[in-house]
Amino acid sequence: DLHAGRVRREFLDSCDLVITTTKHKAEVSAFWGQDKKFLVVSAVPNMDAVLKLARLPVGSRVGAVAESTAFAEAIKKMSQTVTLNALQVEAATEGDPQALRLFAEQHAVLVTSVERERLTRQAAQAGQEIIVFYYELDQGSLALAVAGILNKTN
C-alpha cells in the first residue's frame, strides 16, 4: 500500500504509533524513517486455512484468487515450506466474473483472500471447496500491540 500510494506519508506522520509486520518493517522504515515510532509484530497464517490445505490430496490443483500474484506466491511458498502435498497453485487476479468462473472450473479448490471472498464465492461451482486464507497476529504480538496502544493512550 505504501508503494501504490494508498497510504500517504502525512497519514503516518499524524500517527502516534504505527504497527507493522516483520515482513514489512524494512519497507516502512525506508518510507517513513528509522527514527519514527513503530511497533513490529509477527503475523502467521490462519491455522484453519493451513489445515484445510494440508488435507488436500497430493498434487491438487489449487486456484488462488486475489488482487495480486503475490498472494498465490505466498500460498506456494507456504505449501513448499511445510510440504503441503505438492500443491499446484495458479493465480487469478482479474476481477471479471466470467473469467473467474472459467478459472474456477479448472481448479478443484479455490483459495481466496478476504478481499476477494465474495467474488470467489459467486464464481465458484456448486459444492466447490473455498478456503479463505489470511494472516493474523500471533498471541505474543497481539499482547505487544495492545500494550503499545495502551501506553500511547495513557
Q: CB-based burial of residue 124 (10 Å sphere; 0-12 exposed, 13-18 middle, 19+ buried)? A: buried
- pLDDT tens by residue, 53-96: 888 888 888 999 988 888 888 888 877 776 656 788 899 998 89
Q: Is the Cα torsion angle 23, 25, 70, 107 positive or negative in sign?
A: positive
Buried b / exposed e across 128-139, counting CB within 10 Å, b at 16+? bebbbbeeebee
- Residues 63, 110: Cα–Cα separation, whole Å: 5
User: Is the predicted pLDDT of residue 9 greater than 90, yes or no?
Assistant: no
- Contact present, 46 and 136 (Cβ < 8 Å): yes
Helix axes 69-81, 47-54, angle to 10 degrees: 70
- pLDDT tens by residue, 100-146: 999 999 998 999 999 999 999 999 999 999 999 998 888 888 888 88
User: Is the predicted pLDDT of residue 2 greater than 70, yes or no?
Assistant: no
